[in-house]
Structure 1
Amino acid sequence: MKEFSYAAGEREVYTVSRLNREAKSVLEGSFPLLWVEGEISNLARPASGHMYFSLKDAQAQIRCAFFRGQQRGLATAPRDGMQVLVRARVSLYEGRGDYQLIVESLEEAGEGALRRAYEQLRARLAEEGLFDPARKKPLPRLPKRIGVITSSSGAVLHDILTTLQRRFPAIPVLLHPVPVQGEGAAEKIAAMLQLAERRQDCDVLILARGGGSLEDLQAFNEELLARAIIACPIPVVCGVGHETDVTIADFVADARAPTPTAAAEMLSPDQHEWLALFGQQHLRLRRLLTDRLRNAQQKIDYLGARLVHPRDRLTRLNERLTALLRHLHAAQRNQFSEARFGLSSLRAQLVQHNPIIRSREYRLRYQHHRTRLAHALQRSLDHSRDQLGRLAHTLETLSPLATLARGYAIVETPKGVVLRTAGQVKPGDPVRARLAQGAIDCRVETVHDET
């Protein structure tokens, strides 16, 4: 069915479909992505995998749609009565005209304050350009020493050391022990970064801890630590939590690893790959040296074959000198013959270009062209004279003076308008009649209209 609106008199009448569509556009364009807190009720989970529920507080409620594609990484399954914090877009379901929220993420309300602070800090630092990849420092391909900033008692340190020992045990490691959660943890980590900067005994740092809740990772979401990482001249790799845990430190670090183990793998080359590469380089170097020695031996053999006794060499040089002298004498004879032939040719050309002969030819040519020009001028004058006579005869035939000479007159008004009909004047008007010789001024007595 086609949707349209029409004018009834001066009123614009909307269809229901158009009204819902435009109301949806107004709602979606008027509100940004929002955080909304409330209690879940009327939760429904159809076979499609989507979730539909109402979010309410003491005074009001609103319908919500939480589509299956947005539910990845959901920490807790929603249930009726749960107090939650949702990040959602305001919209309208056109089919029923229901005002609703389209949910993009959902979490229990206990972490809501920390989550909002996290989002606000992330937006502010991003606006300052602190997450820009252009400002991140490159990581060393083979670190001389890796500094690890983490707790000295956790499993994270063991995982990092085990990974480095397995992949490349030649890289030394320096531990910078710090608390990784609790009050004052962010300040102590920032102070350890400054200490590493002053000592300059590591060319890359790993900042690491295990996974946990948003509250457990709060030290890595502090602005103080973020700016300390940015100010550190040593490249920092952040490996905090699990792959789904993303902190502010991950955004500002020079590289992010999904786990502490991945951070160690990122900075350490695989020793087996390097050993294989060394083996390939060894074989390549051996082949190059063998080829070079073979080429040198061939060159020695070639030079030895060319080595001759000085007497034999003098004999060959003498024979070559004799041959060159014969070629020189033959070349001189050929050159003299060519010179004589050229001289004869130039002498013949000089005779052909003798000025006396050339001036005689030019004189004859001048007399010939002068005669032709005189004949052409005479013919042109005769033709022009005949044409002028014909044009004069035609002009005399067509001239109005010839008509006047036969007794006719040209009558015109005082303004010079030639009269062609009697209706152009009335009795009493002055006119002038022009004759073959002279003119007569007249006055109209009577007008005769003859058709």
Structure 2
Amino acid sequence: MTTGQGAGRTNSAENPWPVRTVAQKVAGWIDRLGTIWVEGQITQINARPGTRTAFLTLRDASVDMSLQVTCSPQLLHSAPMPLTEGSRVVVFGKLTFWPGRGSLSLRVTEIRAVGIGELLARIERLRALLAAEGLFDPRLKRPLPFLPQRIGLITGRASAAERDVMSVAQRRWPAVRFAIRNTPVQGPTAVPQILDALEALDADPDVDVIIIARGGGSVEDLLPFSDEALCRAIVACTTPVVSAIGHEPDSPLSDHVADHRAATPTDAAKHVVPDAVAELQLVGDLRTRSAAALRNWVRREEHVVAGLRDRPVLADPLRGIDARAEEIDRLRHTARRDIVRIVDREATTVEHLRARLATLGPAATLARGYAVVQRVIPDGEPEVVWSVDEMPPGTQLRVRVGDGAIRAAVMGREK
């Protein structure tokens, strides 16, 4: 619920304002705006002879918005430059709301045409702004597809640019397909329609690349392609965009923000569509080069294999073994001879030691007539006796001689 200023009562469903009150309030709000400067593009001029008021339509070049303008016919005739449809102007006036018919118009008292110098200065300022934002950065440029499934083309209807792009593309790759959007490429309605076409083609999943083409023109004719809204829309596209405006000396800003700039529409077709003949020739050349490289590699490997086969170790693998067999036999005989000699020498040594042992042993002494007398100890081993004192009478003895042993008892003893 709001309070109507000047209405004297609260505005509600039970206390609505009449149409005249609303119209008067709107007229009062607009009147408080005062005089203003407005820039736009003239799209329509209606100045009939003998009338005191001329009617113009002033349009925003970037969006589909317009404003009705009225002025004195003398103001149009006294302008420094002839004003025609498509002229960019700056006007000074006051907005007026006509309550009787509910319309809004701008009554102007001054009209200034925007000259080429001012337009170029504005483009340069916009160029610096977009560059500072990084929209010209090469790292943002998307690569063009090698063979696009479908090419989106934005150009004028039945224009030379359209014919050039299509003829060159079809000559290079006959199976190429296009999604064409014909729009104005100059004038006040160019930018809104190009924006709509660009949005539609970018949303089409079958379109792999978009070409914006125009066959050049004057600075005034190319102004739509330096529009800020169009430049930002090109940057925002997810599909690669090619700018082929075909105006080399003063390139519009769309050339800088696009993913690829083509000098002419023909050049754009050459960059977007591969040449089938050239590609087939390239494939043939690559096949020839790869076959030659493969043959050279095979020949090189054959030489390597032949060199390996010619080596003695591969030509006669058993030669090394045969050469070593005689040496092995000689070493075996030598080893056997040395072992036999060592065994014989050690056997002789053993015989000598055996003879010495036999000579020095008790058996030889016993064989010469000696005996070994041992005292028999019950539940013990016999002990050798050394003196008669160890053998009192009755002592059981064991007497060992050369060919055996006897048992005896001491009958008596002699000193």
TM-score by length of 2: 0.45
Structure ID, larger Rg: 2
More helix by share: 1
